[in-house]
Amino acid sequence: MPTSHPTPRPDALTLEVVELIGEAVARFHADYEEAAAQHALTGAQARLLSLLSLEPLPMRRLAQRLRCEPSNVTGIVDRLELRGLVERRPDPTDRRVKVAAATDEGRRVARDLRDSLRFAREPLAGLSEAERLALRDALRRMLTEGSAQS
């Protein structure tokens, strides 16, 4: 039977960084929800539209990206489709599969949403390019190592 080693208690700096990340995430979400509301969208609708503005995606892939059930994605796509922001198309690589894609209007709304997010952009503008690069690289490393452990 393998012995388990207790995880060492994080040091004070690590705990402070974890708290700061939590605060940054909370503030980003609040800003995102406010930007979405200005376009009469929910946060989930805005996130889905943002994903689709980059590339068309099958419903199952959208559900994975949003970390929700495919049935929830169907309802979100339905509502965005009624507003003319999203459309369903056959997948060019497998005609049996439908993908959701942002319309021209959907891409415009997604761009407006991104442009209206103030929380991160304003403080980041106060950092030097070297500081922004260091932050980006640290976050990428954190996310890459974190997903490898999941």
Asked whether residue 7 carries a pLDDT value surpassing 60, the answer given is yes
| Residue 124 CB partners (closer than 8 Å, separation 6+) | 132, 135
Nearest to 113 by CA among 60, 44, 23: 44
The per-residue pLDDT for 82 is 97
Place of tokens 């402070």: 16
Average pLDDT taken over every residue of the chain? 89
Question: For 111-122, how does the pLDDT look when each residue is reduced to its tens digit (9 = 90+)?
Answer: 999 888 887 777
Lookup: tokens for 28 = 């980003």
The per-residue pLDDT for 120 is 74
Question: Sorting pLDDT into bands at 50, 70 and 90, what band is 93?
Answer: confident
Lookup: tokens for 100 = 């959701």
- For the chain, the domains span 24-142
Average pLDDT over residues 117-142: 88
- Give percent of the chain above pLDDT 70: 93
Sign of the four-CA dihedral 129, 120, 79, 39: negative
| pTM, entire model | 0.75
Sign of the four-CA dihedral 36, 42, 47, 48: negative
Around Cβ 101, how many Cβ atoms within 10 Å? Answer: 16
Average pLDDT over residues 1-21: 80
Give bridge partners of residue 88 from the DSSP assignment: 100
Question: For 46-84, how does the pLDDT look when each residue is reduced to its tens digit (9 = 90+)?
Answer: 999 999 999 999 988 999 999 888 889 999 999 999 999
The per-residue pLDDT for 33 is 92
Residue 77: what are its φ and ψ, rounded to 5°?
-65, -40
Among 4-18, 26-40, 81-95, the range scoring the smallest mean pLDDT is 4-18
Within 48-112, strands assigned E span 57-58, 86-91, 94-102
Question: Sorting pLDDT into bands at 50, 70 and 90, what band is 148?
Answer: low
Fold of 24-142: Arc Repressor Mutant, subunit A (1.10.10)
The per-residue pLDDT for 143 is 86
Counting every residue written for the chain, the total comes to 150
